A and B are shown apart, each in its own frame.
Chain A
Amino acid sequence: MKKTESKKKLSVEAKGVTKLFGDFQALKGITANIYEGEVVVVFGPSGSGKSTFIRTINGLEEHNSGEITVNGIPLNDDVKNRDEIRGQVGMVFQQFNLFPHLSVLRNITLAPQKVKKLSKSESEELAMSLLERVGIPEQAAKFPTQLSGGQQQRVAIARALAMQPKIMLFDEPTSALDPEMIKEVLDVMIELAQSGMTMICVTHEMGFAREVADRFLFFDEGLIVEEGTPEHFFKNPKEERTKLFLSQIL
């Protein structure tokens, strides 16, 4: 699925982003542009900074230098900007991070009610339609601990979608799942991609990535080593480090 980059709006613009954790420099200067409707897959060895990068996009990690602009809003010290960006960016975590003391339905309706001031009936209607979209409407009254991993992650996706974001971030969404449950989550993500959502996914699922991604970003040691289309990566990767990593995982 190729989209012409020049005609689309810029969703996320990162220029020279760095992030320091004490002595360890996780990001050494990331520059990347992600366009509206694009599905970008970020991959690389562990510790390469891929999770850190997407967490800087919605402000969960504060970047030390460089610029990040999301949908035209600069991410800086201004808390109002950060909150506005968070309202437009949804995130799905590796560990699901569902709220265990709330029912599935309440997990999804809480933020729309508190942040977007939706009424109880509006938010519940929205939640049920999203649960249907991810395929588990019958689980609405249950609690997260009563669901399987794959179901929990799908609820997490529905919960993020309930805020009607323009961009979705996925931080290794299937890495904590048993193999037989990975497919159900990937199917939801594929449907999401096909519906035109701008997605940035950190993942190791190369099959899924090959199918939906418009672009790959290969991270290593805090820098983007190589970027390009999936075909470019699988047919003729340029850098040595890329070739080495691909040979290990394919």
Chain B
Amino acid sequence: MMILLNWVRENFFGSKLDVILSIVGAFFIYFILSTVISFIINSDWTLILVNRQLMLTGLMPEEEIWRVWTIFSLTVILMTTSVAFWFNINIKGSIFYILLLLMPFLIFTTKNTLLYVLLIMILSIVFFYLGYRSKNSGLKNIVSRVIVISWIILLPICFLILNILDGPKMTLWGGFMINLILAAIAIFAGFPLGILLALGRASSYKLIKLISTLYIEVIRGAPLVAWLLLAWFVLPKFLPNLFGLSDLNIVVRAMIVLSLFASAYIAEVIRGGLQSIPRGQEEASFALGMNSISTTIFIVLPQAIKIVIPTVVSTFIAIFKDTSLVFILAITDLLRIGRLIPEQQQAFFGKSIESLCVVALLFWIVSLVLSQISRNIEKKLNI
């Protein structure tokens, strides 16, 4: 007790300035907390309960929701296994992650889906344990390879599940799901493309350098909104008539634009990393007789990417949030739904704040998860 009092006295009432700051700070915190808590208690949250499915999956029909659940379960299980296998999780960390995952679950489950939820949770715990145990066993290499391959094929499998057996039209996809899918595609396609562009811009072949630089500067020259609108109006005219490319639906066009946009920004981040590698590394590699390509792949690029991981993850988070801009293409993403509910549903007329709070919460959770992953990767690489 005495120790606590002493700690409080030292840290909050040390000097005259401390005392003033503490008092001002206390009032400030009280003010904010009371407003927030009274808001939370007094608001009508039935809006969320009623519109759960709408927010998560948009206009997808009820019968097709099982696809979303399958994808979700696969992703969660893969994530828990990866986390257990690669990161050094202690008890505190695991509880934090579990609570984090539970939150959206609790908000969005209904009585029917409770069984699904329990099943997923049990499977996650099982795989978590398996991943944790195999970390130190002899199967380490095989498990590692299996996990990496699983991640790579996860996205195509998701598409398969969404489309198989006469799946719902792509234009019906919406809600939180479409934000996640668009972001995933933009990141998975944009990252390798960004690497190629960065290498192209640093290349000694003048033509490649010119094309890469031009691409990056042009893309960065306009806001994403402009590019998305261009995708709507202009892109169909440019695409050749082969393979039905000119009939590409708007969701695929949005994916293309987002990927190209992301690649330009990722390219610049990686180029910064490439430039920070001392020339001596290249010289040593050349002196050993390795050619430019080997030097880049084995010596320069690994070091460059390692250095820019924090910035790259920031870019990923920004890309994820940028996906809400697809509302201008009439794609019903989470933000659009969040805005439309208070406007179009009589029962919840005017309750924009509650609606947007949940939207913000969901975006924030994803950003938080991405940041945590980034921090864990950095810690792991600095060993």
Contacts and interface: CB of A to CB of B under 8 A. Distances in A.
Interface of A: 58-60, 83, 86-87, 89-91, 93, 95, 97-101, 110-111, 114-115, 156, 159-160, 163
A163 B286 CA distance: 12
Nearest to B294: A114
A101 B300 CA distance: 10
Given A110-B298, A114-B290, 13 more contacts: A86-B287, A87-B289, A91-B287, A93-B284, A97-B278, A97-B281, A97-B284, A99-B284, A101-B303, A101-B306, A110-B288, A114-B294, A163-B289
Interface of B: 278, 280-281, 283-291, 294, 298-299, 302-303, 306
Contact of A60 (B281, B286, B291): B286
B303 A111 contact: no
B303 A95 contact: no
A160 B285 CA distance: 10
Among A90, A97, A159, max chain B CB count under 10 A is at A97
A89 B291 CA distance: 15
Contacts of B281: 97, 99
B285 to A, nearest CB: 8
B302 to A, nearest CB: 5
Contacts of A90: 287-288
B288 A111 contact: yes
Given A93-B280, A99-B281, A114-B298, A60 B287 contact: yes
A98 B284 CA distance: 8
Contact of B290 (A95, A101, A115): A115
B300 to A, nearest CB: 10
Contacts of A100: 303
B306 A160 contact: no
Contacts of A87: 289
8 contacts: A59-B286, A60-B286, A83-B291, A87-B289, A93-B280, A99-B284, A100-B303, A163-B289
A115 B284 contact: no
B283 A97 contact: yes
